[in-house]
Structure 1
């Protein structure tokens, strides 16, 4: 029976890891649908490459930073056949896989904010540093025993800081790192006129944007429910709270966003971001309220950033992940209370302290990483590269290469650039 139980736990968390891995395609398509056509290839390659670098950095450095566990031992030890420290049947390996998909969400979040003008190479460097050192430090503080953070919280408030599935650890930290990166990069060329007025840049493909949001929404039930990490701790409450928060975010973003499809699809994600922290302790009505607040807040903050504050955060990652994650961490301390139908065991004081600490940690870490890379290597494409688009400038191919083909008078298929050059020579 012990073997069966362990095998079930291995399969359970493996399925969760696969679901969260699939969410990264959602990040990719959400960005593809939002950016202009000349940057769609870059969005796809960037998310996939960031995931690969994240996994390597987390395997060799990050997981050890967070939990003090190293995988540099024999395979017999890793699967629990000899030695100590690792569970049998490779449970710790699939647990790493699951948590690695969380860690890789940090650069995937940042990617949406810095889209269309960030250098590819320096972004991969940033990914390695963020996932190898910055993110796992805070992860270890909240989900591990690093620096005695949780002991300190229990001493101050009687209970620890509660973040069941990462409203703060993943989303708020990632969103505030994203804000730092966006501020370091500056606005896209032509985003604002000389008088400061906003120049509209509509999404390039609403169906792709919607596809990305749907993939993320479905995968989120693995993100939240499988955060239990063992079969015995599965809770249907987490699933229904995730559902209620998602629909709450959709409804308010629909109303506040005046039927805008971009806001509606991101509103679902806003609700899911906010409910992660307290999805295991809230009443479903509390989860619905949390998601509803998050959906409306996202729309308002996105517009404030772009129009009033001149912060060119392309996908609104600070509003969506940074601020909705922050709100969700605090909402856990409100709607998790028994007096409001929750299961209790949370403290509003602990939630405010831990949440604000996570936001500050992400902002400072982001400024340090992107500030250092900016000084050392530069983090932004040249004006010429940005104008041509990241697809051609970095990857030498566009998302729709047939659009760049024209037929010359002699019947040969030539690129637009070659055709123009031939025309100039003939002139």
Structure 2
């Protein structure tokens, strides 16, 4: 029976990995649809690069940094393609693939905020650094047995908060890190030509294909059923069956609530329900629930999704109109703001130890501390990475390339004739 159970768990993990991999075309279509047609080939190419580079670099080094056991809880050992250090019950090759698709997602988030004006050669550099270094190290702190998830009685987290940091599937580890890096990258690049008038007023630059963007969001919604339930990493036995079913439900409810909240808020604010913002509202709900999808009740999931869907609209407005940071797809709001918000709300709404369920404020403190540490790491790395590239080689294409489109100048071909 144990052998059958392990086989079922392995198949479930690999199926979930396939669903998460399918999020790559979801991100590609969503990003391409929200931007202009003259940059579509560039955007599609970048999404392929994220997975190609991520797969190789995570295999050779990133997986070791993230799941290696040496380094006093702050960094794992590099493996250089030797996976013998991994001692888990699941086949190491399967677990590596599952973690690889998560790594690629973190890098992909950044490309949307920096779309339509980034040198492709420099995109290769920062995508590689995210996959090789930034994501695996903070991933080690949290999912790889590092200090933020060390539940030993004398550990820092337990003595300080009485609990450890919890992020079931990556609201903080994947999405907020991607969102913070996206924000810093967009700041380093500067806005697209024509985005802001001389008086500072923001001008809309509509995407060229909302049908493509909508299809991308539907694909992402589907892929999230691998992202969240797959993080259980097991399907055999009653406990796992119940856990996966619960996570499926909370994930879907939060997505629906996020979309509904954004739809009605935009209807009220702008006089018409916005499709483009509602698509991001669905993603906001999905990002928000990812940290605590295993711990919150179905009603709690609706609350998280609804709050994230509302906050998203104001976050996009604030970043665009007040901060004058040009994020073409709203990645910093969807993934950054809602990733942080969902992680914090897990500390409030967890039915086992949340502050609103009589668990005290220790778990919330652990969640707050964890998200601060993780995102400060991402911010510090992002500042060094993007401004280092900008200083040494230049991050942005020339004005003529940007105005005429990156497809022809960067790739010598166009998606549309």
2:247 counterpart residue number: 238
Q: Helix, strand or coil: the match of 1:262?
A: helix
Q: Which one of 297, 300, 311 corresponds to residue 311 of structure 2?
A: 297
1:356 counterpart residue number: 372
1:50 counterpart residue number: 50
2:71 counterpart residue number: none
State whether residues 245 and 271 of structure 1, in contact with CA within 8 Å, keep that contact through their aligned partners in structure 2: yes
Is 1:173 equivalent to 2:162 in the alignment? no
State whether residues 176 and 336 of structure 2, in contact with CA within 8 Å, keep that contact through their aligned partners in structure 1: yes
Structure number with greater Rg is: 1
Distance 1:244 1:58, change over 3 A: same
State whether residues 282 and 309 of structure 2, in contact with CA within 8 Å, keep that contact through their aligned partners in structure 1: yes
TM-fit CA distance, 1:340: 7.8
Tell me, in whole angstroms, the C-alpha distance in 2 between the residues paired with 1:398 and 1:370. Answer: 28
State whether residues 168 and 326 of structure 1, in contact with CA within 8 Å, keep that contact through their aligned partners in structure 2: yes
Q: Which one of 274, 278, 281 corresponds to residue 267 of structure 1?
A: 281
**1:296-315 equivalent positions in 2, closer than 5 A:** 296-315=310-329
1:396 counterpart residue number: 412
Q: CA RMSD in A?
A: 2.0
TM-score (norm 1): 0.88
State whether residues 20 and 102 of structure 1, in contact with CA within 8 Å, keep that contact through their aligned partners in structure 2: yes
Tell me, in whole angstroms, the C-alpha distance in 2 between the residues paired with 1:85 and 1:390. Answer: 42
**1:161-200 equivalent positions in 2, closer than 5 A:** 161-200=165-204
Is 1:225 equivalent to 2:234 in the alignment? no
1:248 counterpart residue number: 257
State whether residues 283 and 341 of structure 1, in contact with CA within 8 Å, keep that contact through their aligned partners in structure 2: no
Q: Helix, strand or coil: the match of 1:256?
A: helix
Runs of 4+ residues deviating >6 angstroms: 339-346
State whether residues 167 and 277 of structure 1, in contact with CA within 8 Å, keep that contact through their aligned partners in structure 2: yes
1:210 counterpart residue number: 214
Tell me, in whole angstroms, the C-alpha distance in 2 between the residues paired with 1:378 and 1:45. Answer: 20
2:300 counterpart residue number: 286
* More off after superposition, 355-364 vs 100-109: 355-364
**1:60-71 equivalent positions in 2, closer than 5 A:** 60-68=60-68, 70=79
Tell me, in whole angstroms, the C-alpha distance in 1 between the residues paired with 2:43 and 2:134. Answer: 23
TM-score (norm 2): 0.90
TM-fit CA distance, 1:352: 1.0
> Unpaired segments of 5 or more residues in structure 1?
402-427
> Unpaired segments of 5 or more residues in structure 2?
69-76, 268-272
1:199-240 CA distances to partner (integer Å, 9 max, x unpaired)? 221121110010010000011011000101122434121111
Is 1:3 equivalent to 2:3 in the alignment? yes
State whether residues 322 and 359 of structure 1, in contact with CA within 8 Å, keep that contact through their aligned partners in structure 2: no
Is 1:381 equivalent to 2:397 in the alignment? yes
TM-fit CA distance, 1:84: 7.6
1:317-363 CA distances to partner (integer Å, 9 max, x unpaired)? 11100010000110000010447887979711111111122222221
